[in-house]
Structure 1
Amino acid sequence: MAEAQSQPRLAKRPVTRLAGPYGHPVHPALITVPIGAWLAALIFDLASHVVATPAFLTQGARWLIAIGILGALAAAVFGLLDLFAIPGRTPAFRTGLVHMSINIVVVAAYVINLLLRVGDPVTGPVSWGLVVFSAVSLALLGWSGYLGGKLAYGYGVRVADETRQAEGFRTVPAKAH
């Protein structure tokens, strides 16, 4: 029973300082780059169908996809470090493996998406096939994000324990004037 109680505490601590200090993991901060870049790329893709000269949007979407791939690779390094903190053979670890697996599929999809765009001319709008491909990839990313939220908010992976969290809600006495 003591082992089961200590396992959540293990998942709250970084395996190495590279993963970020206790209560401040690096992975959640870095995931904002690929999420933002890929969402903006989809918006650029859609917008390329409603403007008279879509070349700048088509080219911008390519750059955003590339930026998202690089950001995802950086986030993956720190996510892997966080995964190492989770004890094996637990629901949290299995959720972490599914989260990681979906992210690998999403990054691979965006690499393929980028490679398919390299041959397309930059003068016209993005093909509807690539727009749909991006939307499906983004939907998969949303599912993975849900699982990442479950890890952090449901299982408390890499968040401060309840005692430390309670410090932020302790009432401070008012100063006498």
Structure 2
Amino acid sequence: MYTKARIAGHPIHPMLIPFPIALYTATVAALLAYLGTTDPFWYRAAMIANIAGLVMAALAVIFGAIDLFSLPARSLARETGLKHAGLNVLTNLLFLATAIFLWRTWSEAAIDGTYPLPTAWPLGLGIAGLVTMVAAGALGWKLVQTHHVGVKPSVHERPAVPMAPAMLETPPVVAPPVARDIIEPPIAPPIEKPAPIEKPAVREADDEGVIHIPVRHH
């Protein structure tokens, strides 16, 4: 399913989302580094990374919205895209609150020189933002893997061959033959019994030991 927002055939939204992902992650990592070292450098680095992440996220949202509303209405892809967009909006709001807190705290510290800087609120908001960002990323990958959003059809894929009308028709039902149409098999002739075989005459001897052979007259 091709997307509308693309450059030279490549979707723009997937090319932009790695930047806010990396910058938001760097924000939380820098806050953890400041929590372990109390070096103001890491606090300032977290603020800069957070603001840069918001700028890149705003660009990604613009092109993502173009892709979202180009999906067919009432489709599973549109439904997944709306969930993906909602979680991304929540992620950006959490990091927006983090950026505001970091900016105000850093500005006050630069004027008053109050150290150490508070990290509980920005770190908690940042971790919550990372959780929603991962959930949004899972839905974004589902759009690509399951619904093929932003995937260009391959030139090697064969188009679907339309079925001939004869293949779509239901074959006619043949009625079973009626009893009168059934041809009875021919009756075999009776088998004649073979003639009995006569046993040969038994030669018998008289009292004097003479054997008499019976003679058959024809």
TM-score band, normalised by shorter chain? 0.7 to 0.9
Q: State the TM-score, normalized to the length of structure 2.
A: 0.64
Of the three residues 137, 146, 162, the one matched with 2:138 is 146
Tell me which residue corresponds to 1:42: 28
Query: Which structure 2 segments of 5+ residues have no match?
Result: 110-114, 158-218
> How many residues end up aligned between the 2 structures?
151
Instruction: Provide the alpha-carbon RMSD of the alignment.
Output: 1.9
One of 155, 164, 168 as aligned partner of 2:155: 164
Higher RCO (Cα < 8 Å, 6 or more apart): 1
2:205 equivalent in structure 1: none
Q: For residues 1-177 of structure 1, what are the structure 2 equivalents within 5 Å?
A: 12-15=1-4, 18-22=5-9, 24-51=10-37, 53-121=38-106, 123-161=115-153, 163-164=154-155
Write the distance in 1 (CA, Å) between the matches of 2:138 and 2:3.
22
Q: Secondary structure at the match of 1:160?
A: coil
Corresponding residue for 1:174? Answer: none
How far is the alpha carbon of 1:82 from its aligned partner? 1.2
Offset of residue 125 of structure 1: 4.8
The 1-side partners of 2:103 and 2:3 are apart by: 40
Identity across aligned pairs (percent)? Answer: 25
Report the Cα distance in structure 1 between the residues aligned to 2:3 and 2:84, rounded to whole angstroms: 18
Deviation at 1:139, TM superposition (A): 0.7
Cα pair distance change 1:155/1:133, threshold 3 Å: same
